[in-house]
Structure 1
Amino acid sequence: MAFAVNQDMVDRMRSVSALQAEAESESDVFKAAIKHLQEAGLEEVLYTPARQFGTYSERIGSYWSLTPRARPWAIVQPRNTEEVSKALKALVKTNGCQFAIRSGGHTCYPGSNNIVDGVTIDLGLMSQTEYNPETKLASIRPGGQWTGVYNTLEKLGVMVAGGREGLVGVGGLLTGGGKTYYTCRVGFACDQVVNYEVVLADGTITNANESENPDLFRVLKGGSSNFGIVTRFDMKTFPAHDVYDGIVTFPPSSGDAVIDAFIDFTKQLHVVDDAHILAMWVSMSQRDIAMLNGIPVDPAQPPDLTMVSMINMIMTQLDGVEASPSLERFMNVPNPINNTMKHTTLAKKVAGFLLPSNREDIWFSLNYKLDRRIIAKNVEVYDRLVKDIGERSPGCVIQMVLQPFPTSFGKHSTERGGNMFGLERFKDDSVLIIVAVEGSTPGFYDMAFPIFKAAVDEIEDYAKSVGGDFEFRYLNYCDGSQDPLSTYGPENIRKMKDAAAKFDPTGVFQTKVPGGFKISKVKTPE
């Protein structure tokens, strides 16, 4: 009997064949790590290229970006906090064994959440979200993605201030700080966490909150993976309700008007906190633009690789108000091409707002003072970047996203006990930018990285030259070559170093976990 075989089936069969033919490492360290993990009772959730190869391949393929899809010696997927403790103790006692920690796997620079010569602890089976109506707290496991969190909580009539894109993972966003739709009202996502359940380097399971391990509690708010593996976040909730949200698309010729509206909006966030915006300069194919705007596309239609440049204003009125004064100036920008504004919920919004997947990705982030000259320089450099990289890699996606970063964000954090960012020390409003490029042509990453980094360096140098430098880098957007922890201020650097020495005295998370930003690499303030 004949049957149809589509390309997806062919790719899967090729993948399985390749994995079956792949031998396991001959390393004695690998063999010892496997032995220790098996002795810890983790055989059922231990995957290697030669054993449970289907699940091994599936977990590697589940990374949003191609860039971190390394092939570790093995993947271990704990099902609960106790198994995280067992896995951690097994790997720590394996001499010479390094390991990676993955929650959602959305960070895209190489080595951030995966490893080659080592073992990846994959928290993907720990993705549950629970709600306690008495405490009004949501208990969220680290391996979930925000689409699932929001779907669960909205059905219960509540919401949390979490990620803004459906595939972003819980653990990385919250330990890195977490910019949310509600930062203008309640600070960062980490400011809404009231308790962390943490597995320390020696396997001890503990809690960190205002009364229990308060020093650990504080540094986990933005200090990333330097202190332990967080296995549960207890977060404040608020009533769920509709928002008025969508994308209004403009041609590049409307850029000056968008910049003026952006500056006015940022200034008014000190007194008005009812809306959230992203100003996105984007160059991609018509097909990708349609997908980003939620417009149905024919999957059988081959994509047109011709790059098109547009400005997408991604706007969310948090109270569901259509005629919001906060967004009026954006709505009055001339020559709109498309408008998808509508009433929706956050769960539906993030489920539909997905960046293109299965490409190699490079992200860089900067902050600089709110200055029209620097924004104009951004646009100038971006236009050259589109030309330089676009000519070398047809079909790539290049984005520059401007986000308001007023001083009120730091005030909200301080009111809630503070975090590691140290934003309270700044007196000037700023702009948070992410410049991102995605491509799938052979050798894309190696080709694009130096061009991309030079462009970001040019923006940073220009900001410094006009007195617009802002010494803060948002960790969750940074490339691995950047150094966000060093920008948190001397006091917070000391707090992180002290906490790392206290809760991880043997330096497990500094030496055996090479991925991520390490507080040990930051110079101790004098």
Structure 2
Amino acid sequence: MKLSLLACLVPLVVASAKPGAEIQQRRGANTTTLACNALKQAFSSQVFVLGDANYTTQNEAYWTPTDYLTPECVFTPNATLEVSTAIRIIAGLGATFAVRGGGHMPIPGYANTNGGILIGLTNLNEITLSSDESYVSVGPGQRWEDVYSYLEPYGLVALGGRVGIVGVPGLLLGGGISFYSNQYGFAADNVVAYEVVLAGGQIVTATATQHSDLYWALKGGGNSFGIVTRFDLSTYVSPTVCAGIIEIPSTEKDAFLNAVASFGEYGSADAKAAVIPSIFMLGSLNITVYTSALFYDGTECAQPALANFTVLPAIENSYGNTTTLATYVKGTDALIGDGTRQVFRVVASYANAEALQIVHDTFVEMVTADIWNVTGLQASVAFQPVTKNFIQQGINKGGNPQGVDISEAPYFWMVENFSWTDPADDNRINAFAQQVTDVIEQKLTAAGQVAEYRYMNDAGLGQKIFQGYGDGNVVKLQSIRAKYDPFNVYTDLMPGGWKVANA
């Protein structure tokens, strides 16, 4: 690193009130080019521009091509201090930027940028188990399948994604649903420390006792507060589990929906059990099937909590034998359509048969009527049961920004997912995704079944997230953001994602 150059180029953005005005004045004067040039001089082998092989690799390190954009340059830091230096350069010059962890959020511009600077965290890939094995330190360049594989020889797990290719930072900053959430809450409820680069380049560690307000905000408050460069995650003993996927024919629709409704209402009876039931529609094959991931944290797979699913006649069934979490999630990679175009939308309801039927019938009817002929179409709704146990665990661990109302639990937090192959269908699918969500929510509202909280990690463009957080939590988040980023670096210069300032 050329320190003399950095001394000239890097103002301390938070040193006084003046830098805030300076940022605004510099924007528009080709600040991104200036920042890219400064980064190139400071980190010559880690900055890439269009035409470089590593530029393409980093720009396509996403789950879906809907995220392939054209940043002016890409910076790949190797250490937290390099992230700090980069933020001082970028913020000091007022350049726009984006940050990518695992690259699984399929909203264009939320983890990439057209014309700005992309900070790709691929090389921040630490995984280290503490000496007492009570927590594991994980860098934001990791994906969950690698975290689970690292912990497997120790017979341990950490709470994280239920699909292996999901990245670590995005899931945790949005809260994070895990197979173990009925026992331990959101994945973010099980973070014991965050290492964070603030807007002025300062590096702090946020815990329940140190920068405790920032620690609380990061447990579901998104990316408005800083760049997290290390997560310390509580570990739990879980050497072997029961996990697999069952596929049910459409002729068993009623029995399947009854099983989903029953688990939704009574899932708290056994906190070790988890399911991800889904409607799965394939337009090209003109078929609809029902699937569910089934999970049990234990070695006895025949469990009453899952019996309503396991008794159903199945087309395919991989549940029934013990495995490890690492082995299971690696097997899911082939089921998640890498390389197809993607969009999510989230819907929330109370967990009962009436809400389930409304969502099922509306979704199936509208998909069949309106977009069934889209090339390569796959359309699904996953019903994620959220129990009182799940919510209580977050309360027990000091609370979180989501502040989900436990008195109204249980819930279904549902994710609609659409995938397709032709970019020419982008506008059609995006418009439909918004339309079907609006219709479903209108029907749920009329039936008194709509729930307020929307899970950030499954949400789509334009959906309101923070407005459904617990009473007073939006104002609290906004106050914490203003304290740690008074000049809106992570709001205005890094516009991707849901911002608490705009809630």
Partner of 1:449: 430
Partner of 1:48: 49
Aligned residue identity for 1:118: G
1:309 aligns with one of 262, 281, 288: 288
Residue 307 (structure 1) shift = 3.8
Instruction: Output one character per residue of 1:143-177: Cα deviation in whole Å (capped at 9) or x when no partner.
Output: 11001111111123321111111110001001110
1:408-427 to structure 2, matched below 5 A, reads 408-424=389-405, 426-427=407-408
Aligned residue identity for 2:450: D
1:68-467 to structure 2, matched below 5 A, reads 68-95=67-94, 97-134=95-132, 136-284=134-282, 305-333=284-312, 335-341=313-319, 342-354=321-333, 355-388=336-369, 390-424=371-405, 426-467=407-448
Question: What residue ranges of structure 2 are gaps of 5+ in the alignment?
Answer: 1-27
Residue 327 (structure 1) shift = 0.8
Residue 428 (structure 1) shift = 3.2
Aligned-partner SS, 2:65: coil
Residue 392 (structure 1) shift = 3.2
Instruction: Output one character per residue of 1:226-261: Cα deviation in whole Å (capped at 9) or x when no partner.
Output: 100000011110123111111111112212111221
Aligned-partner SS, 2:151: helix
Aligned residue identity for 2:89: A
Of residues 150-159 and 497-506 in structure 1, the stretch that sits farther from structure 2 once superposed is 150-159
Instruction: Output one character per residue of 1:347-383: Cα deviation in whole Å (capped at 9) or x when no partner.
Output: 1111111210111111000111123222112111222
Partner of 1:301: none
Q: Is the 8 A contact 1:389 1:448 kept in 2?
A: no
Aligned-partner SS, 1:392: coil
In 2, Cα distance between the equivalents of 1:107 and 1:122?
14
Instruction: Output one character per residue of 1:375-431: Cα deviation in whole Å (capped at 9) or x when no partner.
Output: 112111222243245533132211111111123221111011111110145423211
Partner of 2:34: 32
Instruction: Output one character per residue of 1:286-308: Cα deviation in whole Å (capped at 9) or x when no partner.
Output: xxxxxxxxxxxxxxxxxxx4243
Question: What is the aligned-residue identity percentage?
Answer: 28
Aligned-partner SS, 2:93: coil
Aligned length: 473
**TM-score normalized by the length of structure 1:** 0.87
In 2, Cα distance between the equivalents of 1:248 and 1:425?
30
Aligned residue identity for 1:338: E
Aligned-partner SS, 1:108: coil
Is residue 489 from structure 1 mapped to residue 470 from structure 2 by the alignment? yes
Residue 495 (structure 1) shift = 1.5
Aligned-partner SS, 1:93: helix
Question: What residue ranges of structure 1 are gaps of 5+ in the alignment?
Answer: 1-25, 286-304
In 2, Cα distance between the equivalents of 1:280 and 1:142?
29
Aligned-partner SS, 1:133: coil
Q: Following TM superposition, where does structure 1 have runs of at least 4 consecutive aligned residues deviating by more than 3 angstroms?
A: 388-392
In 2, Cα distance between the equivalents of 1:240 and 1:508?
41
Aligned-partner SS, 1:67: helix
In 2, Cα distance between the equivalents of 1:277 and 1:510?
36
In 1, Cα distance between the equivalents of 2:452 and 2:30?
45
Aligned residue identity for 2:67: P
Partner of 2:7: none
In 1, Cα distance between the equivalents of 2:370 and 2:55?
34
Question: Considering only aligned residues, what root-mean-square deviation do their CA atoms show, in Å?
Answer: 1.6
In 2, Cα distance between the equivalents of 1:451 and 1:256?
26
Q: Is the 8 A contact 2:104 2:167 kept in 1?
A: yes
Of residues 504-513 and 151-160 in structure 1, the stretch that sits farther from structure 2 once superposed is 151-160
In 1, Cα distance between the equivalents of 2:235 and 2:370?
43
Residue 27 (structure 1) shift = 7.7
Aligned-partner SS, 2:37: helix
In 1, Cα distance between the equivalents of 2:69 and 2:59?
7
Aligned residue identity for 1:103: G
In 2, Cα distance between the equivalents of 1:405 and 1:193?
20
Q: Is the 8 A contact 1:307 1:394 kept in 2?
A: no
Residue 443 (structure 1) shift = 1.2
**TM-score normalized by the length of structure 2:** 0.91
Instruction: Output one character per residue of 1:200-220: Cα deviation in whole Å (capped at 9) or x when no partner.
Output: 000000010011100000000
Q: Is the 8 A contact 2:157 2:236 kept in 1?
A: yes
Q: Give the direction of change, closer, same or farther, for the CA distance of 1:413–1:192 in structure 2 (3 Å limit).
A: same
In 1, Cα distance between the equivalents of 2:227 and 2:365?
41
Instruction: Output one character per residue of 1:7-32: Cα deviation in whole Å (capped at 9) or x when no partner.
Output: xxxxxxxxxxxxxxxxxxx9832321
Q: Is the 8 A contact 1:407 1:424 kept in 2?
A: no
Q: Is the 8 A contact 1:266 1:404 kept in 2?
A: yes
Aligned-partner SS, 1:399: strand
Q: Is the 8 A contact 1:98 1:513 kept in 2?
A: yes
Aligned-partner SS, 2:408: coil
In 2, Cα distance between the equivalents of 1:313 and 1:100?
35
